[in-house]
Amino acid sequence: MTGLFTGFQLLSTVFKSLDNNNTVYKPTRLTKMTSYEKTRLDDYSDVEELYHPPPPHGFRLTIFRLLLIVLLFVTHGLCYALGRYWQTMPAEHLKALTTWSPLHDSFPYSLHLQSLNAITWTGHPSLWRADPSDEGDKLWKQNWDSHPMLIPLHDMKKMNQDLDYVARWLDDDSMGMVGNQAHHLLHCVDVLRKAVWTDYYWPRGNLNPGHRTHQTHCVDLLRQDIMCRAPTDVYPLIWMEGESQPTPNFNISMKCSNWDGMWDWWRERQMTKSEVDRVWVKPPSVKQWPAPDGLAEESKALAEVCSRPNVTCSIDGEKVDVSRE
């Protein structure tokens, strides 16, 4: 590369000399420094003997600056690409482990390290675990009590569902309703929590024949969800005062997604209560999923219980009519 550059400089000097009465400058060695004097091109039999001074220092500095700028741009591009990769990797991991969801592409999914508070014995339980109270009930309910949201039916095909059975929006037949599975799972945990405190929540007993069915449904749903995900976390066994054998320490660190962020995303898009009340009434002539075994018997038993003297059937304190046509 240097030889090519010197060659171009040499030719440039020669052509300039032809326009200047065949005059060029030749070096003379007086000392260690180089000086130049005029001479005629005709005095040289071989052009290769011409000598041209090396490129000036300013030129080399310019080349260095250009290379530095290019290097900075390349480094910036690599950092941006790596940043995007690390940002999207948790989301791609989520897509690989779950079926299609409207949250996949629009919710900023991320993971963070969190230590569990799961010791078996505690004198200062969190509100989630404390004895039942109105404050605790509110905390639980506000974290799972959500409304469905509407999504296009063409997206619902990605959920491997039969669209003929989907409850569609009354004002737009191309939209269908979906619920939040995370909220449903937490609701099931809340159902089992209340079962622990039966005397508090049902001091006079619970005659609803569907009550036990609801509880066993939640037990088996949580069982299926856990076995499907098959968590790979492990916990250590430690020595603890008062225990003669190694004791499990369930206060482990886990990689967790952003529950509050997910909830905020859903809350902004869920249907309003008035919209839900409108669509909660079954339209005539819709295709219906076959009733599962036991539903008719349970409904009949519930109607019988509610017809008994001194028995009031209610939901959230409001009396309901459980009769069936």
Contact between residue 185 and residue 193 where contact means Cβ atoms under 8 Å apart: no
Single-letter residue type at 310? N
Give pTM, 2 decimals. 0.70
How does strand 168-169 pair with strand 172-178? antiparallel
Among the listed residues 146, 176, 177, the one whose alpha carbon sits nearest the alpha carbon of residue 263? 146
Among the listed residues 234, 245, 265, the one whose alpha carbon sits nearest the alpha carbon of residue 116? 234
Output the tens digit of pLDDT for each of the chain's 325 residues: 444 444 444 444 444 444 444 444 444 444 444 444 444 545 544 545 455 556 566 667 778 777 778 777 777 666 665 555 445 556 677 677 788 999 888 888 888 999 999 988 888 999 999 999 999 999 999 999 999 999 999 999 999 889 999 999 989 999 999 999 999 999 999 999 999 999 999 988 888 888 899 999 999 999 999 999 999 999 999 999 999 999 999 999 999 999 999 999 999 999 999 999 988 888 888 999 999 988 888 888 888 888 888 887 877 677 777 665 4
SS3 string of 216-252? HHHHHHHHHHHHHHCCCCCCCEECCCCCCCCEECCCC
- Write the pLDDT tens digit of every residue in 42-59: 554 454 545 555 656 666
- The residues facing 315 across adjacent strands are 318
